[in-house]
Structure 1
Amino acid sequence: MKNHDIQHLSKIDSISFRNDLISWFEKEQRDLPWRKDQDPYKVWVSEIMLQQTRVETVIPYFNRFIDWFPTLEEFAEADEERILKAWEGLGYYSRVRNLHSAVKEVQETYNGVVPDTPAEISKLKGVGPYTAGAILSIAYGKAEPAVDGNVMRVLSRILLIKEDIAKPKTRKIFEDAIRELIDPAKPSFFNQALMELGALICTPGVPACLLCPVREHCFAFQEGVQAELPVKNQTRKSRDVQLVAAIITNEKDEFLIHKRAAKGLLANLWEFPNFEIHTQLLPKRSFFQEQFEADFGVKPSVGEFIAKIDHVFSHLVWNVDTFSGKLAPLIDKDVMESSKLRWVSEKEMEDYAFPVSHQKMFAAYKSGTKRLL
């Protein structure tokens, strides 16, 4: 994109804008654990965690993650099961898998030092333009743009950019704008300030313009259209998936758990046995029993209804009817192994990473109440 796509850019006093923005950030920035130092590894971990996740949610996860894996080397050598457990509940597990692959590459190819050039860092798995820009500017002080949703919202208002931010090609417009505006002496604070402004002041919907440190530079505010920006048109619809699940125990009060496939949604996480419902001709209990017997060779006794769990992903919604169950006789050992099934005690279950939906199931089972979560 050329600068004619950002017609208001030339009208901004960039030095005054930088000073107002960074002065505000220096006084008002939140005390966040990943801001304690500029360790590229910690910056990287925090940026991956913050993708599609709120800051308040990330803080305890980040602290635990760094406690478990304090250095890049320790994380590179960590077992995937423990990594997934550390990430349990954050969702979008491909993020941490890609991070682990990329960190191992840094350990092997770059002697454990995170690359400090756009060309090299962008080759790492899971490191897109935003993550690369964030690491390079925050950890290494490079004047590189870091454009995420917060930044696009802020700049679409300040520069009155009416391009659809849901279109991938629009990112280039904002990257060009930041290259013009960024403070070469303080790129870390400049980029973080834009992100902070979007999180605290220039929020979705109606922004808090009266509190904004760069209000006098904002063309959307001057024209009174700040609530109409950014333009974002999304047509993608989610798909509902009906499932039936059971929390099955044996005579030892152990729980039957299953490891998901190594690829696809929630790969390699553990779950309670469940099946997608593809017929309405059978009651859900009976459907579960028949599917279970067909897959594993024995028929469980399915007991009372526990809860209906609705869990939303970016592209689909799980509607899961969950029951309790008992199993005797037990599944053949070879079938257990080939099907990635395991009997575990409640205490042992703490070592396995489960999706949030299955954590909800178990919480409902433990509470003994029948409710919609």
Structure 2
Amino acid sequence: MSKQTSERPVFPFTSIVGQEEMKLSLILNVIDPKIGGVMIMGDRGTGKSTIVRALVDLLPPINVVENDPYNSDPYDPELMSDEVLEKFKKNAKLSVIQVKTPMIDLPLGATEDRVCGTIDIEKAISEGVKAFEPGLLAQANRGILYVDEVNLLDDHLVDVLLDSAASGWNTVEREGISICHPAKFILVGSGNPEEGELRPQLLDRFGMHAQIKTVKEPNLRVKIVQQRELFERNPKEFKKMYQEEQDKLMQRIINARENLKKVNIKYELLEKISQICSDLNVDGLRGDMVTSRAAKALVAFENRDEVTPKDIFTVISLCLRHRLRKDPLESIDSGFKVQDTFKKIFEYE
């Protein structure tokens, strides 16, 4: 990445007005990437990509092995490419550098080769070496992969992305040659519902689903426009105004990642989460797992160590609304349906 692109001014995350649902979903995924990514659905011009870029700018830098195309972690064998792992096993000295958490934008017209990487068959046969040209999944390892208009992306490619995001590995097979490399990233997809829905079986694979709406209150709209104008006039000064808040939020995220292991959720709360999923006819167990993970991440973010019903109430709509079967005759928003079921089972007001 050139110096110029890495220093392009990014709108500060803490200065973004509204869109709390989306901001919370992204922060929780950054604290616990095992939640499984976020699908952001909303109107055009609501700042979806601005918020994702702002989040990446907020994240702490990561240690990587120098000149490694996979952002290999110098200390964790699970996150190393084969080449680095070989050196690591031989106790060879690894040159370590710090880089910004990577964020990869997936272009809409990307081919599978561009995404997964390609194997140079000729070179492999003539020279007997595995000549692999890494793709976007390699670059996204240990970072965020952002797909705008994910509902317009070819279903097969969405499948490939979701498989890699879930397993943390990307496998490319051509003519009997197989290459495997780490591809552990947070998948963030965004789309406009007017341009078509994502297939339910693909939608279910995203951990959380945030809905963002155009802000209606005139005073907030004016504030958003003013913020944008101030930022465009002098990005450096604008960022300085929010630097203290940005640093505090970054520290909270770092602490939450540490605290996550200590967070406890009582068995009866897990049972009630499963009861809600069962009452709402949610297929599979992903909904149960994601809800408890998200609630724990929220507790860690708030620097506590015990999950309460209120924490579950805060995250459960984000975790389940996209997993409900669509009834074309129902006008009620699925988020309200989830909350109603929660209130009945938890006897919560």
> Shorter-chain-normalised TM-score: which range?
under 0.3
Provide the TM-score with structure 1 as the length reference.
0.23
Question: Which protein is richer in helix relative to its size?
Answer: 2
| Relative contact order, higher structure (CA 8 A, sep 6+) | 2
Higher-Rg member (1/2): 1
Provide the TM-score with structure 2 as the length reference.
0.24
